[in-house]
Amino acid sequence: MINIRVEKLLEYGLDQQRATDLHGQMEAMDANQSSEEAWRHISKNLLTPDDAIKAHEYLWKAAFHNSEGDVAVPCWSPSVTDVQECNVTKFQKAHGLPDYEALHRYSVLNKSEFIERVLDELGISFQEPFSKVADYSNPCTPSWFYGAKMNIAQSCLKPPEGRPAIIYQKEGGKLEEMSYGELDALSSRVANGLINLGFKKRDAMAIDMVMTAEAVAIYLGIIKAGCVAVSIADSLASDEISKRLKISNTQLVFTQDVVQRMGKKLPMYQKVRDSGPKRVVVLPSGNELEATLVGDDLEWSNFLSDDKHFETVACDPMDTVNILFSSGTTGEPKAIPWNHTTPIKCAMDAYFHHDIREEDVVAWPTNLGWMMGPWLIFASLISKGTMALYYGAPTGEEFGRFVQDANVKMLGVVPSMVKQWKTTDCLKGIDWTSIRNFSSTGESSNASDMFWLMAQAGYKPVIEYCGGTEIGGGYLTATMVQPAAPSFFTTPAIGLDFAILDDAENQSSQGEVYILPPSIGLSNMLLNKDHEEEYFRDAPLIKEEYNGGLGTSLLGQAKQYSGDIGFRRHGDEIEKTNNGFFRTHGRVDDTMNLGGIKVSSIEIERLLNTITGVKETAAIAVSPHGGGPSELIIYTVLADDNNNGESLLNEFQLVIKKKLNPLFRVKQVMITDILPRTASNKVMRRTLRKNFLEKTN
């Protein structure tokens, strides 16, 4: 029996009549229903978008009143129809697997056989067949599809020519479409244009522009030609662009004249030109080019070939297709190459976890400078779906109506974006019920915000998605066959497994996550850092008692391979809850994610330690109570007693704004006599994080 009170419904924003009616409907419910059944009935049949969100939360908690001991409480559970129709179930039935746990176990214990079946399901094309799925002589960095020739662009352009490949809308404009045939033709004109300029296989071409239909065609055209796409975020300043062009040895940059955002025109070509590129191709953001070109830079129309046909260049599967960069703010960014097999990881995750199906419309506000830009291309096009691209800022009503009018089935978000939608109430009156699921990545999410988001589409799940550029997708995520609790994960990604270890390298319910290679999508090189040092040096050895995220023996998985195999370090701290969900707790190393931007604690500390009166500092990132984007906390040892926390906070904030990043906000300064250190004198940031959480809670 679910006990609710009318006065509480009034307190949470309902009027007397609505509160009385809802109370009566609740009283009439079957008292023998499970919590999941009761909440499904309440959320689908009783509550409406017009009811205050606090009333929704009150009834949700009332339905699960017997789950108070559980850390994670689901607010969506799959119906029988949901389970029957999703990709996971389709694959399970085709291969005689009884349930999801069996599917995951099969994907990690029979890796080569599993990958062959995935290739068939996704329709991945090869110009010459492989003799074996992988050369596992070094299982930590295997060579996939040994002996094959392929070009992943071919697998992106298979649907009928007339099917929409991209639905897009300019700010203040209307919906437009680019078909698969038009995308194929335009990308071929790009590839021919590159050849006409004398470029050859493996030459690097940068893209620094808003993610438009033309940007997608440029990206695929570069890959068709056997060249390398260099991803640069359109928000970067000239000096940061310059670093990336030099690291990647970029020969040509594609950009646009200006960026139009919220009614303003921001110069783009000039910023790129100031970065010192060898040559630039400039696209007009409107009907006419709004920039004066210099040197031998080319206007888009003069670059494009008239030839709409191109014989896609055959490549080795391990040839680089894309160079992406870590989102650091100072110093040299980490350059991470993707090869022709990495997009298969993107499409695998889209198939098994995001449940993207043929002809689905997929939207994720992003750009090609962040891994989710290339991910979106491969996830939607290899799935034979349609990308939905909105060219403006995705923060207001117009974006909400774009999602509605484009009939989006899977909408990807960043948590801070959701918070803004919720705060401004800009989605009021917009119908998102066509959405099948959401997905969230980029930073830690807030449970209350994610609950609100689910409610906007009539309670559809949020697939939390945690991974990285060096993974090609996610390592920790969720599915459409498991219940969804706001801000929680349910499973290691299909085809991948991990262990959670404490400081003593014992298996634990909370600790550092270590990934077990090999897994398709994992990086096998870095352009400007030592890959072995970055991911494998000093990682723990696999022990017999270690089990993976869903209980499969990790040593049993490792025995598939003849070579030595060890864990791969990723740097996240995660927890497995008492009822089988997972959640993240930030980084265990000196890297922090502040507002979706990665920055080293050491960079912040080096800056703050120069301030008069400060002896030393330690910067940590902590998720707020209830979850959400990490907050910056500075532990400080004073050189004298003339400073206090409040004055230092203002001074720290000013220095960080001027010399590091104006988006970083110092939440709190903690004065301490000494910083905890290891025997080798390293600051124990995990201890500081634990102490802070214990004190504030």
The 10s digit of each residue's pLDDT in 624-652 is 877 777 889 999 999 876 666 678 899 99
Q: How far apart are CA 213 and CA 210, in angstroms?
A: 9
Q: How far is CA 509 from CA 443, 499, 690, in A?
A: 22, 10, 15
- pLDDT value at position 209? 97
Q: Tell me whether the omega of the peptide bond preceding residue 518 falls within 30 degrees of 0, making it cis.
A: yes
Q: Angle CA(591)–CA(592)–CA(595) in degrees, nearest 5?
A: 145
Q: Are 157 and 268 in contact (CB under 8 A)?
A: no
8 Å CB contact between 179 and 166: no
Res 112 pLDDT > 70: yes
Identify the CA nearest to 667 among candidates 629, 631, 615.
631
Query: Residue holding tokens 């955002």?
Result: 261
Residues 358-394: tens digit of each pLDDT: 999 999 999 999 999 999 999 999 999 999 999 999 9
Binned at pLDDT 50, 70 and 90, residue 563 comes out as: low
Model confidence band, residue 4 (pLDDT cutoffs 50, 70, 90):
very high
**Could you tell me the pLDDT band of residue 351, with boundaries at 50, 70 and 90?**
very high
Residue 208 or residue 266, greater confidence = 208
CA dist 284 → 197, 305, 430 (Å): 20, 17, 32
**What pLDDT score was predicted for residue 625?**
75
Q: Would you say residue 519 has pLDDT above 90?
A: yes
Percentage of the chain modeled with pLDDT above 70: 97
Q: Is the pLDDT of residue 50 over 60?
A: yes
Domains of the chain and any CATH numbers? 6-67 (no CATH), 591-696 (3.30.300.30)
pLDDT(594) > 90: no
Per-residue pLDDT tens for 566-591? 899 998 889 999 999 999 987 777 77
Question: What is the model's pLDDT at position 487?
Answer: 95
Which residues have C-beta within 8 Å of that of residue 220, sequence separation ≥ 6? Answer: 153, 156, 157, 183, 187, 190, 377
Reply yes or no on whether the pLDDT at 14 is more than 90. Answer: yes
pLDDT at 327: 60
Mean pLDDT taken over the chain: 93
DSSP 322-375: EEEE---SSSPPPEEEEETTHHHHHHHHHHHTS---TT-EEE----TTSTHHHH
Residue 129 pLDDT grade (very low, low, confident, very high; cuts 50, 70, 90): very high
What is the number of other CB atoms lying within 10 angstroms of the CB of residue 106?
21
Query: pLDDT (tens digit, 9 = 90+) per residue, 27-42?
Result: 999 888 999 999 999 9
pLDDT at 302: 97
Residue among 83, 87, 92, 84 nearest 358 (CA): 87
* Helix pair angle (415-424, 447-456), 10° resolution: 70
pLDDT value at residue 144: 98
Which tokens in the block code for residue 644?
């206090």
- Please choose, from the candidates 192, 183, 176, the residue with its C-alpha nearest in 3D space to the C-alpha of residue 157: 183
**What stretch of H or E contains 83?**
helix 80-85
- The answer to whether residue 220 scores a pLDDT higher than 60 is yes
Give tens-digit pLDDT for 138-192: 888 999 999 999 999 999 999 999 999 999 999 999 999 999 999 999 999 999 9
Predicted structure pTM score: 0.90
